[in-house]
Structure formats: C-alpha cells, structure tokens
Amino acid sequence: MLNFILQPLAQFIINAVESLGLFGVFLAMMLQSACIPLPSEIILPFTGFLASQNVFNFWPAVFTAVFGGLVGSSLAFWLGYFKGEDFVRQLIKKYGKYLLIFEYELDDAQKWFRQFGQIITFISRILPVVRTFIALPAGMSGMSFWKFIVFVFAGDLLWSTILIYFGRVFGSNWSLLKVYFEKFDILLVFIGIFGVVWYINHKLKKNHRHLDQ
C-alpha cells in the first residue's frame, strides 16, 4: 500500500518512475525544470522510497534528478535568452492554460529575480513553485549561462539530496507504519482528491485575480 504518498495528480509520474527507472526520474525532473508544473515534492520522495526498496541506489538517483533539472532548466534558460519576454508571454497566453502554466507565475519569477538578483537562481532551486519558473527570467536577463548552471546544480543537489533522503528514510520504516496507514486509506484517498481539486482551483483563481488587475 502506497496511498500515503500517492496523489492522483502525480500518478503518471509514479508510473513513469516505476516503469522507466532512473530515466523516468530524469524525464520527470527535466519536465519539472522546463516550466511544466510537476511536483518535485512527490517525484523525489517517491524516488527515495524506491531507493529504500533497493530499486535504485541513493547517489545515482540523486545525480540523475540533478541532471534532469539541469537539462530542463537549460532549455527554459535558452528560451528566455534567445526569444525574450514578449515571445515567452505570448507562448504562455496561447498554450499555458493547457498545462496549468499562467502569466502570473512568470511575473512572480521576474519579481523575485529583480528583487534578489542572480543569487535567486540558487535560492529558488530549494523552494517550491518558483524553482520551476526561475530559469526564464534568468535567460531573459542575459545572465551568464555557466554561472546559471553552477547555481542550478548547487541548488538542485541540495534539494534532491534532502527530498530523496527523506523518502528513503520514510520508506525504510514503511513496514512499521503501514498498519496505521491502512486504517485511513479511504480518508487518504479523499484527501488526495481534495488536494488535486484545491491545487487546480487555486491556480485558476490566482490567474483570474491577475487578469482582473
């Protein structure tokens, strides 16, 4: 039973990681870092869980996740660098709604970049949500690509190590905890469904508020 970590929103991620192995980890983290809002907070702990079951080795899993993040971030960086803000905004306006990517998320990332400077490229990689979009304003700003890569690598190494380790430690205690979790399966499934509905509704409402301003 894995219901305590499964969420309907991330079911296809978990299937990919289980069926494709480390390539699934790489693919999920690449997409997540290329501005596709997949939750690394699920991808990485689940990878750690599989490491606790000896499906993966810990450090190869960590560096696979980091490499996926570097590739995805680089794609977003070069998009912002070569195409610029106007093109990116038009792309989001035209296609973003199909992937739950909204213009306000680009605005937030740009605000963070202006407020904190290039170091936010590192800081954002250890924070939820904004880590997904920070590569776009970094590219738009004309930031040195090699400096960008160093910051992304450092942030992703820290983020991936912590979350995969958490998943591994928690997973190794699953046999002790599953008796208690099994009693709450229905509640957990309901919470998972509620979480998905809330997540989508929250993004849509925030986008509507942004458009009304």
Residue 206: pLDDT band with limits 50, 70, 90: low
pLDDT of residue 187: 43
pLDDT of residue 196: 45
pLDDT of residue 141: 86
Contact 37, 108 (CB under 8 A): no
Helix H, strand E, coil C: the string for 105-165 is HHHHHHHHHHHHHHHHHHHHCCCCCHHHHCHHHHHHCCCCHHHHHHHHHHHHHHHHHHHHH
Q: What is the pLDDT of residues 102-157, one digit of tens each?
A: 777 777 777 878 888 888 889 888 877 677 778 888 898 889 999 999 999 999 99
For the purposes of burial, counting CB atoms within 10 Å of the CB of 144, is it exposed (0-12), middle (13-18) or buried (19 or more)? exposed
For 120, the 3-state DSSP assignment is helix
The DSSP symbol for 53 reads: T
Span 182-211, average pLDDT: 47
Mean pLDDT of the chain: 76
Q: Which of 60, 37, 38 is nearest to 47 (CA)?
A: 60
pLDDT of residue 113: 81
pLDDT of residue 178: 46
Q: What percentage of residues in the chain have a pLDDT greater than 70?
A: 71
Q: What is the pLDDT of residues 84-106, one digit of tens each?
A: 888 888 888 887 776 667 777 77
pLDDT of residue 133: 79
13 pLDDT more than 90: no
pLDDT of residue 66: 97
pLDDT of residue 165: 92
Contact 72, 29 (CB under 8 A): yes
Span 68-75, average pLDDT: 96
